[in-house]
Chains A and B, each alone.
Chain A
């Protein structure tokens, strides 16, 4: 069969400037162009699942790209206020592509640059709780935002603090969120959660 004859040669198959050799489709000269028919998608598939879908309108989705969103589904009382550092809990997953999030910690599946975002809401803040911070703690580096927590909230109304970063993570590195509210008489500050709405959440995504 003609096709088998080609297969059984050790030489490249060359068509114009396109060369096929081993597992590689390459260009001998000029740009390598992969083109659809103008109405259908270009799909990358691992043999089982679509890894990347490029629509005819140019949208590109990565259905298996590591990505997560988790939130606190209920209030947690008396967590900080007099300086205690809290490991913030996000006990409900909205999605966790790749299964890399567990027990309030995201673990990087591969080396890369990751976007991490968090917002933590709190209440029962007294006037003396005028200092503190939120941190995204990763294996390589910590990211911190400091604030006067009393000014973020009121004694009777919630406040929120947010932080985002793009960070370098190596495979198996971890990321989590810590919160500290200081100068209060005791740890009477509560962390807010809700069963359906996202008031305290942690999200992330492998970017590159």
Chain B
């Protein structure tokens, strides 16, 4: 078969501007285009799983891209309020693509840029608790958010604080969240609300 004969050559094969050489599909001039037949997908596969599927209608799905969403379904009482820095634990994983999250830590599987989103629903805040700090602590750096728990809390001593960041991580670097409430006694905590992700830690590899 002609194709098999070509396949058995050790030389490169050039067709118009496309060069097939070793494991490489190259272009000798112009862009390289991957084109479907107009009705089906373009699929990149690692030998077992489809790692990138580009639908004919243009949607791109990367179902093995590292990504996690963890939340608290229970109340963590009496963890801070007196200046104690508490490492936030998460009781439930909504998803954890690549199993890189194990509460409280996310561990980067590869070097890249990661998006993190932190949200904590604080409770049992009192009027004397006038300083609060949340930290996203990564191996490379710490990213802060400051707040005044007393003035932000509702009548029942609750407030939610959130923030996001895009940051760099190297493979095996870790990221986790801590919270510190100060000015009172150790009665403050954080919680979820039933099925709502009121206290959550989400993140993923974005480039």
Contacts and interface: CB of A to CB of B under 8 A. Distances in A.
A61 B142 contact: no
Interface string B68-83: 0000000000000000
B47 interface: yes
A37 to B, nearest CB: 6
A23 B163 contact: no
Given A6-B13, A25-B25, A204-B166, A57 B98 contact: yes
Contact of B45 (A13, A24, A35, A63): A35
Interface in B112-138: 112-113, 115, 130-131
A1 B110 CA distance: 44
A20 B16 contact: yes
Interface in B189-207: 205-207
Interface size class of A (residues with CB under 8 A): 35 or more
B152 A24 contact: no
A32 B42 contact: yes
Given A23-B32, A30-B40, A119-B165, A197 B142 contact: yes
Interface string B7-48: 001011111111000010101011111111100111111111
A60 B148 contact: no
The 7 tightest CB contacts between A and B, nearest first, are: A58-B64, A38-B47, A26-B35, A65-B207, A151-B151, A203-B166, A162-B163
17 contacts: A6-B6, A23-B18, A25-B35, A26-B36, A33-B43, A35-B44, A36-B45, A56-B47, A57-B98, A58-B63, A59-B109, A59-B110, A63-B112, A97-B113, A157-B148, A205-B166, A208-B60
